[in-house]
Amino acid sequence: MPTTKRLVLFCAFCLAICCLISLNSPLALSGKSAHSSPADEEQTLRSLLGEVHELRLAIQRTSLNSYRAQIALERLRLQQAVVERLTRELEVARNEMSEMKLNQSRTSEMAKEMENQINREADPNRRADLEREVKMIKAELENHAQREQRHREREAQLTSQLPTEQAKLGELHERLDAMERELESQQSTEKPQAGGKRP
């Protein structure tokens, strides 16, 4: 995912800048310390301690941002899975509903045809068999109607739930984008400070 890659790259870039600051400052300071007075050495030591403190803060910020990004990405992944599952379930429910309506229509037509056949049947035994079959078909139609009602309720529930979960997914995307902008802002403010602190 592009957002994930960008966040990881920003964290790595911030950490690299901090490492460069920590490596360059002691080398530059050590070159001056051989010909400096105790006051200069004390000033140099204070400057070095200040840079170490800033480096520690930068590392802490980077670690915190990385941790927040990992949590946000994991939540995003889980929410994406929820949305995909609900989408599949809704599609299955709609397909089953269409199939049930088609079967119910066919069964209803069959019952009507058999009722017409009963009216034309002269043989009492055959007529009795047809009447039993029609009763069975009508009972099956009642079961169809009950199953259709349950499927309709499930489909309505999924149709209502899916937009809510999609909205949550959108909020997580926006949160990741905000974190990315925050990292970019920190990077742009830390660059001048890093450049100004070098002796």
Alpha carbons 10 and 41: distance in angstroms, whole number: 36
Report residue 32's pLDDT band, with 50, 70 and 90 as the boundaries.
Answer: very low
Q: State the Cα–Cα distance between residues 187 and 169, nearest whole angstrom.
A: 27
Structural domain count of the chain: 1
Residue 107 CA to residue 141 CA, distance in Å, equals 7
Mean per-residue pLDDT of the chain: 78
- What CATH number is given to the structural domain containing 131? 1.10.287
Helix residue spans in the chain (DSSP H): 2-33, 38-120, 124-197
Count of CB atoms within 10 A of residue 105's CB?
Answer: 11
Contacts of 25 (CB under 8 A, 6+ apart): 47, 48, 51, 197, 198, 199
Average pLDDT over residues 80-109: 91
CB 165 within 8 A of CB 86: yes
Which domain does 41 fall in, by range?
2-197
Share of the chain above pLDDT 70, in %: 75
Tell if the pTM clears 0.95, that is, is over it: no
